[in-house]
Structure 1
């Protein structure tokens, strides 16, 4: 209900503001023809800084663009309006951010998730550290980005384009900036939750510096920026296993994974540009960007098999039982207790280390009416992630270790889902042991699984070379210029994930347990490995032990057993590469003319795109009897595409009013992990005698990627109306429609297994079987309406000088479903990942006499969120609506000895909004709960 009220309030504010504009627009329009020149001259003399300056710059970029765009601009050098690029982008019409580990990391644009948006840096496509093409925006320090433009419609000369749109991050051009500047900033930050793990931190800092200068009579410009961040996150998280149905028809919680997660995010970013313009007709620039980040995580807690522990006991362990006296509301058991619970304790550690490079060179030469441009770029990403799981409990599966009675109470959708009671003390080192409490490997290995380790690695590099030649036409009606060129990119993404079981070294030689069939002894936790406790009191479970599993491995308490020898709970040491070679020839004509009293500008163009894609991977047997059987394979396809585009802007007789039209055929390539050549297969020897007929009875089956995937294609139309009534004020209304020709979803496909070997294929009469892979299917549609406004409130009442409000709202409708993204069968009732029907944003600000304050609200309706799951796979769940509130107050010293100094106090997620998802479209069935608390920042910056 709270989210609904705020959503309605945002819509009401939009309507009231639009009405105010209509009342005042008539008078402004009447005066505009006679007074425009004088008014503009007066405005040029006013020096505006801070948030209003960033707003004016963004409005100017939107007004002057040849396409339908949205823009954000830095308030000053090193000062975007928000602390992250994703947060700033999420305040634009039709955009929304998804929080990952408490940070706004990825964005959805026009109802389509991160898979459908490309990101460029200074116009050059960027690689990613994940398994997809979408970048992680928290890798790009906001302090070194001067602006960002979101292109909602494509144009032929821009060769890096997504189906939803393209985000171009831009850095400062030192010669264009035109003056010397030296600035520095520092901020202290703290989270409100406190330390959930005693060896973590809840305080951090960030610092940055920028230098810009011009030399040699302003023919040589240099800029250098560096930004460092040390940011902690504390996260209370619960993840319910599901809701099995009892024989009486009621649903009950199946189990829960409760964690106290702590994180320390360290990032250092460097951006440098050298720009040289020795003559008026030649300019060249060299850009360099580098980010290094290390992310450390401590994830500690317990996993409780509740109803799903019932009847699943092994050996002497008693089954879990739902005790009588529980409470039922509707068909959901909302409170009760389970006896015989043997919790699996977790003391996990993880880390991610990434390096991202981007280098670009551009040269432009003009002679007469001709301009030639050559641009070369290189982008590289390397990422290594370590996930170390370590398990503890009262004893191994089948032993006489103590069990617990867990009471549970459902506390509502907007809370942690459940509160628990317990009897055992999970922080008692005399009770808790290193062990395998629930036989997680299912007896498929001869050793107890006391933990799990994987180290997925991503290497992604991209080369680009673009050349074009433009001819200006001065005397041809409507034809301003013609640009013809070619762009070539070559991209290689490699993914490798080695995996190991973690077992107690003592188990390697211990006798086999007759009850479980494995070597499953337990061991005390050495005192030297203990690091304190983890706090689960927020959900009623008190504290748990916390220890360092990496230290246990380094000192020989643990040993590693490669997963390649066994298959249970492993993904098969996945290893693949995807290669793309894309050549794009394009021609674009810019138009500029008049239709009566209406000025018409824009462009029309065509791209011819040739793609040659391939993947090298392995076919690996998933059967334990055939472990270690690999077969390398390389597959691929080449294809051509024609992509026309049209962008027209109609400037009405009053030039403050514009109508824009965009029409294009759009394309977005498949996720790179969907294009992998890997195949995980099995051969069922019991079906080896298959002689034909129904292939469901074939001994062959498997799942994998599809190197033959074609892109998504859409025919799109955009229409917008824009009214600019003030340098800091505008109103825009836009509508769009995309007809998708195809989509991508998972489907069981007949596959020829010829050449794939197995240890037990004797007697097989066929090499055909079903493999589940992503395929191209039929399409769908997505349509929407967007509105945005900005109003300096002194227009309404002179006494409100310095106050202003800006906001946006977007409505999107689609018939695309989760199956369209390779999830499920293609008939899933889940929405497309990242889709919210409503997105709304608003900011109320005040700036005057150096003092500034603002409050920003972003809201999105429920959506399908995407996370990284086991083995770096994709997991999806439905998230409830989310409303985030941020606030800031600042003061800039404009005169005196402190001139150039500014101080700022910020609060992020002021209402402590959690991330909540649920099962089966039923908001009473909580799935995932993550609460990050409020983040406070206090800092200062100085510019000379």
Structure 2
């Protein structure tokens, strides 16, 4: 940690990006400026956001900071979820990524001050994607956010759902010297092992000098969070796994008569330690009145360490009884074992961006600007793998019929409550004199080391121009520009899994702790395991390494180089139609993209029979390179029409074509063996750099009523026609070793002494049967339609100080997941209805806001952690948040913030609601602090 903080301090000193929001009201007489009134606070920020929405030609939503360094929520994503049509997903109950109008994180473009921002991820299970992580940005660093729901020619492409532009402050935004800062203490009520109170500190100083020729802004923030999450669940539900009594199945709701049985059930506890550091330095220079240059450097570091332990079991030969939909409700598996897992997660992401912007007012009617930035996001720059996994188990005994476990396991599924866990270790006690939770009956099983190191660099250069018509006429403005973007990703993937360990762990610090009040916020935790294993995965690996049993597979290196050249032109018209003021924006954007995907990986010598449930490739020592190319050209038009029906009523209609580029992992040409088990399945995957982007033709219609200061109501309808949706094409084929021979199955006719990872006789030989693999390759397979309604009401109750916001989004699509289908190629994840209800009071220096955010159930993924063919649904979730502040003086205020104050829990399930995948509780958290500005 000390090294991390030092590295941060060396790179820059300030923090992320202070915020300002001002609504300027001018009273003029004799053409002279008499007074400027700066409106801040809740009402000011909401009025400012409303004005942005009203004045925009397309469909735009906005959030503005309430004051310098004071954003509406402690997390940027949690502020965005208040916007109509925007919903979020959470990581450890902290806002992380956004979904807009039913389109998940991968379909939304995030920019900062109009610049495309890089992203990097470390989790092996997530792959390498373009989804921006909002949890890495402190809310104090942002002055405003604009959400462009309709396409614009002059807005960077990449978002089908929306383009979200994060705005940060510059010194010329302020009049002379300005300073602001805050100090908070966070109390996360879920915390058990970290600090009960953790700090959050932010500060910003801005000044101008040399007769306002120069400006300098320095800002910074630092925050820590210690917390705990508790979870009950399984890694997958598998179709027709084991044997089952299916007599209760109702064929009307389950036409195929299939049944589903879980792989596992377990309870786990995760202790989180999160540190976030943001900083910004901005230098502005105005040598003459018509030229302004801005040089800025932004950096953010995010580190999270998670220690997780789990007690569980794995159904090897389940026997079950099903309910009407085919879900196994009574599961029994004799002669098995318990498993005791430990995870060590380590996430470190460093982001930095340096940019130059020059604005030149060439004449009174023509202005030009040049913008360039070089931005990098680097996950795991320390080279550490993000996941270390260890597993212990009860021993197996050979009692004359082969090695078996002596613990009978089972589960009763109690509808949508938690399962009742069943285990009987009496046979194990008879054999050894000890039970399943005694250290004398604990043996080593496996370890894994896996994860990505990703470096994502974006170099972007833009020249923009604007011509304003000084004469009369309908044409008011012409905007034009050219843009070059170099998007480069280097991803180093490591995956090592060793099964069948036989190590001495007498020195391992292993304890079994009673569950106690584990899961006390969940439904029915009484029937779970009596104890939770507690040990360190890192210590386990050290012991394995000391005994010479540790090995690491060679990394696979993947690179994607994506070069895009773009140009645009747009026209703004203002005219009257039947005495109604009409504003029109018409634009066209041209884009040409070339993509090269490169993979470097070691060749495969053979398949090794290393465990009862695993075949693993044996690699050579010589990496080889493979490259594939692709590309596409697109024209993206837009047309926005806004009509002022009356002084208070506005109607608008928009048409646009937008695109979103494929996930980075889908462009890797490497072939990866995903699953290889004795007898199958044999599954592998390969990327496709020739993928085309998703394309969407968008229609928007809305009516807005601005009936009082700060108050309005709106209703809108949207429809999207999306082409080129990705799906996986499965090809049955052979995979070849370094000699060009097909890989073979050494487990089909197992030789003596096998399985054994160290025995060469357990590797493929010429007489073994050839493996036929299911190789999944992404392709542009399908199209779909998405439509929906958005309703919003914002009302200020006169001069009482009270106000309220209510909004709702209703979304529908023909790409909804069909739970009765097993061959669906297209399903839109993230599609869900959402709603917000916010009440606030602001008067006499006192502010209070109570907000409820609700999101209906939605398809999170078409796969599960251990089964890529079964869906994951996140159930409906609602959360109450509260913040309040009091102005002690004009410059100093105290505040309290509460998130998830009613301690809501989250739940995920498989194909049916009874198929529990995860039930998780996080608790609530509060911050208490003081804020000052001068």
Out of 532, 537, 558, the residue aligned to residue 549 of structure 1 is: 537
Match for residue 208 of structure 2? Answer: 214
CA contact (8 A) 1:869 1:875 kept: yes
Matching of residue 86 in structure 1 with residue 77 in structure 2: yes
Mapping of residues 224-373 of structure 1, within 5 Å: 224-240=218-234, 241-242=236-237, 244=241, 246-249=244-247, 254-305=263-314, 308-310=315-317, 334=329, 340-368=335-363, 369-373=365-369
Which is worse superposed, 159-168 or 235-244?
Answer: 235-244
Q: 1:367 to 1:112 in 2, by over 3 A?
A: same
Name the CA distance, whole Å, in 2 between partners of 1:639 and 1:474: 39
Name the CA distance, whole Å, in 2 between partners of 1:126 and 1:109: 18
Matching of residue 811 in structure 1 with residue 810 in structure 2: yes
CA drift at 1:667:
1.1
Mapping of residues 593-612 of structure 1, within 5 Å: 593-612=575-594
Match for residue 660 of structure 1? Answer: 652
Name the CA distance, whole Å, in 2 between partners of 1:534 and 1:219: 65
3-state SS, counterpart of residue 667 of structure 2? coil
CA drift at 1:472:
2.4
CA contact (8 A) 1:501 1:562 kept: no
Out of 550, 556, 565, the residue aligned to residue 583 of structure 1 is: 565
3-state SS, counterpart of residue 133 of structure 1? coil
Name the CA distance, whole Å, in 2 between partners of 1:657 and 1:640: 40
3-state SS, counterpart of residue 155 of structure 2? coil
Name the CA distance, whole Å, in 1 between partners of 2:605 and 2:787: 43
CA contact (8 A) 1:465 1:488 kept: yes
Q: 1:492 to 1:533 in 2, by over 3 A?
A: farther
Higher helix share: 1
CA contact (8 A) 1:350 1:387 kept: yes
Name the CA distance, whole Å, in 2 between partners of 1:261 and 1:207: 26
CA drift at 1:471:
2.5
Q: 1:117 to 1:397 in 2, by over 3 A?
A: farther
Q: CA RMSD in A?
A: 3.9
3-state SS, counterpart of residue 246 of structure 1? strand
3-state SS, counterpart of residue 529 of structure 2? coil
Match for residue 394 of structure 1? Answer: 394
Match for residue 786 of structure 1? Answer: 790
Name the CA distance, whole Å, in 1 between partners of 2:674 and 2:722: 35
Q: 1:530 to 1:201 in 2, by over 3 A?
A: farther
3-state SS, counterpart of residue 497 of structure 1? strand
Out of 622, 628, 631, the residue aligned to residue 635 of structure 1 is: 628
Matching of residue 723 in structure 1 with residue 705 in structure 2: yes
Q: 1:342 to 1:542 in 2, by over 3 A?
A: same
Name the CA distance, whole Å, in 2 between partners of 1:495 and 1:560: 27
Name the CA distance, whole Å, in 2 between partners of 1:811 and 1:844: 22
Name the CA distance, whole Å, in 2 between partners of 1:584 and 1:748: 35
3-state SS, counterpart of residue 56 of structure 1? helix
Matching of residue 488 in structure 1 with residue 514 in structure 2: no
Q: 1:647 to 1:562 in 2, by over 3 A?
A: farther
CA drift at 1:672:
0.9
Out of 504, 510, 520, the residue aligned to residue 502 of structure 2 is: 520
Q: 1:941 to 1:530 in 2, by over 3 A?
A: farther
Match for residue 475 of structure 1? Answer: 471
CA contact (8 A) 1:843 1:854 kept: yes
Q: 1:623 to 1:714 in 2, by over 3 A?
A: farther
CA contact (8 A) 1:635 1:677 kept: yes
3-state SS, counterpart of residue 666 of structure 2? coil
Name the CA distance, whole Å, in 1 between partners of 2:870 and 2:48: 39
CA contact (8 A) 2:639 2:654 kept: yes
Q: 1:682 to 1:785 in 2, by over 3 A?
A: closer
CA drift at 1:167:
0.4
Out of 157, 175, 178, the residue aligned to residue 160 of structure 1 is: 157
Name the CA distance, whole Å, in 1 between partners of 2:144 and 2:436: 50
TM-score (norm 1): 0.80
CA contact (8 A) 1:552 1:558 kept: no
Out of 893, 897, 915, the residue aligned to residue 902 of structure 1 is: 893
Which runs of 5 or more residues in structure 2 are unaligned? 1-26, 122-127, 249-259, 520-524, 609-616, 744-765
Q: 1:875 to 1:387 in 2, by over 3 A?
A: farther
Q: 1:553 to 1:334 in 2, by over 3 A?
A: closer
Match for residue 854 of structure 1? Answer: 849
CA drift at 1:363:
0.4
CA contact (8 A) 1:501 1:560 kept: no
Q: 1:709 to 1:254 in 2, by over 3 A?
A: closer
CA contact (8 A) 1:96 1:107 kept: yes
Q: 1:682 to 1:152 in 2, by over 3 A?
A: closer
CA drift at 1:728:
1.8
Q: 1:763 to 1:410 in 2, by over 3 A?
A: closer
CA drift at 1:561:
4.2
CA contact (8 A) 1:202 1:234 kept: no
Which runs of 5 or more residues in structure 1 are unaligned? 1-35, 312-320, 437-448, 504-517, 565-571, 687-699
3-state SS, counterpart of residue 386 of structure 2? strand
